[in-house]
């Protein structure tokens, strides 16, 4: 017989459903967890979005229209998904009652399988609750910068670039190059990407900080072990100009010839853009698009994103939360270590999450580390 219990713990405002399988005469009291998902608020917001989308004037601003349409589609899927889970749970409870009344091995196995599936789905929904950052669904601007370690660190920065591209590809996210600077002998000095997909910033914010690599250097003729560092910065892309007020007089614009890949056109014309926000010293470059106008538009979006992160940072702790701490990419400041010699292991020093399959992580298997960070962040926020 199968007893079904839905439990809602009070900590962190999170919810999950546990399904103890016990041979009991009576079915325990059932509780609902759907209120924790705040369905009423989601339905209210969905109604607001539908009203906005049906207003013909909205489509005069195609970017805002696309953003609201995407939000409505996501909310519609969430509401339908939770309703489906609720129905499946009710059906499983009814089937469990039948098994209690008339024991049947085949039906018991069917109920157990369904409850296992529901448990996995609720685990996934629990994770959704941890995206508390208001910009979790925004595209992420991800920057990778080689740190201490010379050529090895530039090669390490390129390995990280490949890792994030593989992660994005596996999740079917869009990854666009904004800027890239090649290394002196190998690898890259820096690269900036725009990554778009569900919870792009919400997931990638776990990656900001210093990443440390320990391996036998392929650039050392004596085959000695080297330690390399690279800094990863992640900010949400901000498209709404009203969220951050930038005085054009405070921004210095430089136009120059693109130096990276992109074909004959970008290398023969002065289409690359460098924006410097003089009061803060924030510098943004974009050279990936074919035209100067396109590069300028992208560069301004990135600049707004980075300045908003600074604007909302009232103190150093807030800066660390939104933009990532301004830390040297060197020993002692790393958030995660990747060891390839004398053993293989990847360990996150904040959450304690680790994997013995370093190659799998470098091939883009980052979700376990990202999920561990979300749960760790929730615990830290509640402490």
Residue 135 lies in a domain: no
Same domain, 105 and 174: no
Rounding to the nearest 10 degrees, give the CA dihedral for residues 24, 26, 28, 34.
Answer: 110
User: What is the C-alpha to C-alpha distance for residues 42 and 241, in angstroms, rounded to an integer?
Assistant: 26
The structure's pTM equals 0.66
- Tokens encoding 346: 């990847």
Same domain, yes or no: 151 and 96 = no
Model pLDDT for residues 134-169, shown as the tens digit of each residue: 888 899 999 999 997 789 999 999 999 999 999 999
Same domain, 184 and 240: yes
Residues 26 and 91 in one domain: yes
Q: Of residues 217 and 378, which shows the higher confidence score?
A: 217
Is 47 a domain residue? yes
**Is 79 a member of any domain?**
yes
Give the H/E segment covering residue 256. Answer: strand 251-256
- CATH code at position 98: 1.20.58.410
> Is 320 part of a structural domain of the chain?
yes
Residue of 33, 35, 69 lying closest to 49 (CA atoms): 69
Residue 27, pLDDT above cutoff 70 = no
Domain holding 234, by residue range, is: 140-382
CA pair distance 200, 89, nearest whole angstrom: 30
Tokens of 33: 């967890």
| pLDDT above 50 for 34 | no
Q: What share of the chain is helix, strand, coil (3-state, %, to 5)?
A: 45, 20, 30
Query: Considering only 42-46, 242-246, 293-297, which range has the smallest mean pLDDT?
Result: 242-246
pLDDT band of 231, cuts 50, 70, 90 = very high
Q: Are residues 162 and 303 in the same domain?
A: yes
The yes-or-no verdict on residue 263 having pLDDT over 60 is no
| Residue 176 shares a structural domain with residue 282 | yes
In the prediction, which pLDDT does 22 show?
37
More confident: 264 or 111: 111
SS3 of 246, please? coil
Q: What is the mean pLDDT of residues 21-34?
A: 39
Do 172 and 115 lie in one domain? The reply is: no
Q: Which of 129, 150, 176 is where one domain is finished? A: 129
The residues, ordered by sequence, that sit 6+ positions from 306 with a Cβ below 8 Å of its Cβ are 141, 235, 282, 284, 323
- Do 95 and 232 lie in a common domain? no
Q: Is residue 134 part of a domain?
A: no
User: Is 28 part of any domain?
Assistant: yes
User: Burial of 283 by CB count in 10 Å (0-12 exposed, 13-18 middle, 19+ buried)?
Assistant: middle
Q: Token pair 């990863």 is at which residue?
A: 232
Q: Where a domain ends, among 77, 101, 129?
A: 129
Q: Report the CATH number that the domain containing residue 268 is assigned in CATH.
A: 3.30.70.1660
Are 115 and 152 in a shared domain? Answer: no
Residue 33: the pLDDT is 44
3-state DSSP assignment of residue 14: coil
pLDDT computed for residue 316 by the predictor? 42
Q: pLDDT of 292-330, one tens digit each?
A: 888 888 888 888 888 877 776 544 454 455 555 555 555
The pLDDT of 165-188, averaged and rounded, is 94
251 and 359 in a single domain? The answer is yes
pLDDT higher than 50, residue 262: no
Mean pLDDT of all residues belonging to the chain: 80
Residue 306 lies in a domain: yes
Question: What pLDDT digit, counting tens, does each position of 333-362 carry?
Answer: 799 999 999 999 999 999 999 999 999 999
Total of domains in the chain: 2
* Boundary residue ending a domain (129, 159, 179): 129
Q: Which residue has the tokens 């900010």?
A: 235
- Is 187 within a domain? yes
- Are residues 200 and 331 located together in one domain of the fold? yes
| Average pLDDT of the segment spanning 256-268 | 54
- The gap from C-alpha 103 to its chain's centroid, in whole angstroms, comes to 46
Same domain, 116 and 151: no
Strand pairing report for 16-18 and 5-7: antiparallel
CB 59 within 8 A of CB 33: no
């Amino acid at each position: 017989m199968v007893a079904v219990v839905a439990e809602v713990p009070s900590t962190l405002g999170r919810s999950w459903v546990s399904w103890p399988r016990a041979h009991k005469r009576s079915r325990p009291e059932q509780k609902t967890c759907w209120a924790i998902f705040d369905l009423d608020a989601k339905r209210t917001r969905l109604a607001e979005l539908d009203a906005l989308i049906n207003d013909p004037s909205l489509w005069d601003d195609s970017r805002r229209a696309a953003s609201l349409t995407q939000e409505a589609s996501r909310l519609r899927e969430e509401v339908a998904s939770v309703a489906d889970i609720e129905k499946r749970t009710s059906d499983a409870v009814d089937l469990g009652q039948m098994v209690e009344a008339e024991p049947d091995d085949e039906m018991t196995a069917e109920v157990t399988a369904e409850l296992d599936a529901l448990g996995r789905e609720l685990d996934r929904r629990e994770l959704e609750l941890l995206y508390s950052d208001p910009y979790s669904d925004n595209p992420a601007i991800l920057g990778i910068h080689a740190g201490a370690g010379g050529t090895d660190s530039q090669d390490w920065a390129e390995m990280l670039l490949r890792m994030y591209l593989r992660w994005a590809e596996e999740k079917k996210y869009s990854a666009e190059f904004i800027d890239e600077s090649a290394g002196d002998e190998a690898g890259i000095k820096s690269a900036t990407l725009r990554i778009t997909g569900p919870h792009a910033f919400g997931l990638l914010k776990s990656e900001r900080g210093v990443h440390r690599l320990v391996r036998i250097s392929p650039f050392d003729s004596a085959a000695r072990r080297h330690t390399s560092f690279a800094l990863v910065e992640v900010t949400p892309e901000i498209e709404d100009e009203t969220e951050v007020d930038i005085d054009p007089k405070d921004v210095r614009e430089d136009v120059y010839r693109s130096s990276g890949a992109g074909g004959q056109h970008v290398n023969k014309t002065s289409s690359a853009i460098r924006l410097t926000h003089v009061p803060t010293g924030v510098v943004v470059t974009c050279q990936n698009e074919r035209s100067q106008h396109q590069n300028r538009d992208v560069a301004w979006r990135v600049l707004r994103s980075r300045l908003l992160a600074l604007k909302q940072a009232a103190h150093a702790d807030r800066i660390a939360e939104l933009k990532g701490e301004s830390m040297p990419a060197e020993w002692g400041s790393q958030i995660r270590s990747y060891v390839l010699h004398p053993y293989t292991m990847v360990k996150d020093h904040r959450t304690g999450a680790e994997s013995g399959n370093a190659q799998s992580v470098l091939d883009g298997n980052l979700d376990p580390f990202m999920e561990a960070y979300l749960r760790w962040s929730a615990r830290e926020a509640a402490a």
